[in-house]
Amino acid sequence: MAAHGWLWGCLFFAGWGSLVLGRDEIEVRENGTVSLPCKAIHSQPNPIRQEWKFQKDGLTLLFYHANKFTDNYKNRATFTPYEIQLTSVTRKDSGTYTCEVLGESFAQSQVILIVQVPAAKPTAHVPSVVTIGNKVVLRCEETDANPRPTFKWFKNNVQMPPDPKTSTIFKNSSYTIDSDTGVLAFEPATALDAGDYFCEAQNKVGPPQRSEVIHMETSKLNVGGIVAAVVVLLIILGLVIFGIWFGYNRGYFSSKWPVASFLFSQSRKIIILGTIF
């Protein structure tokens, strides 16, 4: 293959010249059949050699040369001088196809093949419990579709409009929906936002696909409980310090108990500071 490419390069620089005869873009649905035209052949009435190359993700593969296809294509490709027909097209076939023809001059033409893939079942990322007053983000993900899908969100089987103020059902909620990324953001979340959520993904190739339904609950921030826990912790800490101080003064601890001595010295500092303040 390398020697062959070197030969073509020598012929080109020797004076054959080069003609680039356009670039077409063709879309086909996955598992369909597509014809890739070779416009370069029309400029060469007496072609000496014809090859096809495939380019994708920075790699170039020679898939038709010496009058035969490579192994990945030989069972699903048909060659004529004017086109190649591919059957059972998959998403891996998306890329740039280049037809190169050597005759009285060197000519090439390209076809960009876009394999369309319908949306698959999306995944909804919905937290089970959210705190009222906080920002909450729900995400809808789908990775197969080509072209990329748009997204919709539903709550309790009712589609959520992009602007909640336009709906009598959602007018008291504060959220935004990005239909391109599938992000639903509540800022802030309210008690009314609790419910059953699912999302939908769709592109122009196939029907909409729905995620699983996930229930989201809302809860208040328990400030009273937090304060009570802190108070209880401080009381326990105070009782421990008092117990150590009392035991040390009664002679229950001696110098053989360095840990107790250290705690006692710290408790005296705390008591002195408390007296000062």
Per residue in 31-83, pLDDT (tens digit) is 999 999 999 998 888 888 999 999 999 999 999 998 999 988 989 999 999 99
Q: What is the number of H-type helices and E-type strands within the chain?
A: 3, 19
pTM score, whole prediction: 0.69
Band of pLDDT at residue 229, cut at 50, 70 and 90: low
Give yes or no on whether 20-116 and 123-219 have one common fold: yes
Q: Would the CA dihedral through 217, 223, 225, 229 be positive or negative?
A: positive
Name the band, by pLDDT with cuts 50, 70 and 90, for residue 2.
Answer: very low
Bridging pattern class, strands 129-131 and 123-125: unpaired
Name the phi and psi angles at 176, rounded to 5.
-130, 145
Q: Please state, in angstroms and rounded to a whole number, the distance separating the CA atoms of residues 12 and 32.
A: 37
| pLDDT-wise least confident of 19-33, 123-137, 152-166 | 19-33
> How many Å apart are CA 38 and CA 82, to the nearest integer?
5
Q: Are 171 and 165 in contact (CB under 8 A)?
A: yes
CATH numeric code, 20-116: 2.60.40.10
User: Which pLDDT value is given to residue 1?
Assistant: 42
Distance between CA atoms of residues 256 and 33, nearest Å:
90
| Range with the poorest average pLDDT among 201-205, 219-223, 254-258 | 254-258
- For residue 15, what pLDDT is reported? 42
pLDDT at 44: 85
The residue extents of the domains of the chain are 20-116, 123-219
Is 184 strand, coil or helix? Answer: strand
Of residues 230 and 164, the one with the higher pLDDT is 164
Show Cβ contacts of residue 66 under 8 Å, excluding neighbours closer than 6 positions.
Answer: none
CATH 2.60.40.10 holds for 123-219: yes
| Dist. CA 50–CA 25, nearest whole Å | 21
